[in-house]
């Protein structure tokens, strides 16, 4: 199983890039998982639904199963990313994309914006790759990911490296 961290500041193109990477991996018929970290209060539960009401009542683990899949919401102290992947990802998964897990010792693609400079990105380092969806971003050895086609091609080349 390969893992690729996608990191960067807000509005650097992390979600756009992750979505295109997922599409490219699926074009190769790979089994894909994603993990996203957020500093915002988020939940799978939609206000007024039974699962939201269970959470509001204090339930720390809520599961929802339907014809589309199985959804799990758990309130607990987070584990290290590698433990979460081991515990939750199907062992047959080919690739895991993580978005905004900035401090893990895993291969990392750092996305930069035109207004970013090297110092403002220190908290994301070290990074294995520096890239941008913005042509205006000025970084040495920056990978051009300005189009969906370029993002898909880069991921396919990265997968072929191993």
pLDDT band at 68 (very low <50, low <70, confident <90, very high): confident
CB 22 within 8 A of CB 36: no
How many whole angstroms separate alpha carbon 110 and alpha carbon 97?
13
Residue 66 within any structural domain of the chain: no
Q: Is residue 60 part of a domain?
A: no
Would you say residue 56 lies in a domain?
Answer: no
Residue 22 tokens, joined: 């997922």
Q: Is residue 102 part of a domain?
A: yes
Q: What is the mean pLDDT of residues 125-136?
A: 93
- 53 in a structural domain: no
- Domain of 101? 2-39+82-161
Q: Strands 2-8, 32-36: parallel, antiparallel or unpaired by DSSP?
A: unpaired
What's the rounded Cα separation, in Å, for the pair 37 and 101?
6
Q: Indicate the number of domains in the chain.
A: 1
- Please state, for a pLDDT cut of 70, what percent of the chain lies above it: 94
pLDDT at position 64: 82
* Interatomic CA distance for residues 65 and 80, integer angstroms: 26
Residue 121 domain-assigned (yes or no) = yes
Which pTM was predicted? 0.84
| Average pLDDT score, the chain | 88
CATH number at residue 108: 3.40.50.300
Q: Flag whether pLDDT at 85 surpasses 70.
A: yes
pLDDT in tens, 41-63: 555 667 787 888 888 887 888 88
Mean pLDDT of 125-148: 92
d(CA 40, CA 49): 21
Q: Is 114 a member of any domain?
A: yes
């Amino acid at each position: 199983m390969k893992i690729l961290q996608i990191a960067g500041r807000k509005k650097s193109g992390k979600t756009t890039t992750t979505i295109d990477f997922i599409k490219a991996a699926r074009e190769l018929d790979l089994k894909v998982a994603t993990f996203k970290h957020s500093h915002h209060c988020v939940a799978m539960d939609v206000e007024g639904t039974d699962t939201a009401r269970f959470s509001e009542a204090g339930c720390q683990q809520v599961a929802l199963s339907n014809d589309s899949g199985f959804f799990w919401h758990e309130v607990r102290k987070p584990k290290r990313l590698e433990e979460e992947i081991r515990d939750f990802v199907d062992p047959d998964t080919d690739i895991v994309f993580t978005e905004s897990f900035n401090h893990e010792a895993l291969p990392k693609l750092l996305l930069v914006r035109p207004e970013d400079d090297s110092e403002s990105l220190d908290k994301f380092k070290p990074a294995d790759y520096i890239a941008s969806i913005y042509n205006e971003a000025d970084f040495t050895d920056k990978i051009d990911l300005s189009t969906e086609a370029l993002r898909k091609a880069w991921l396919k080349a990265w997968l072929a490296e191993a």
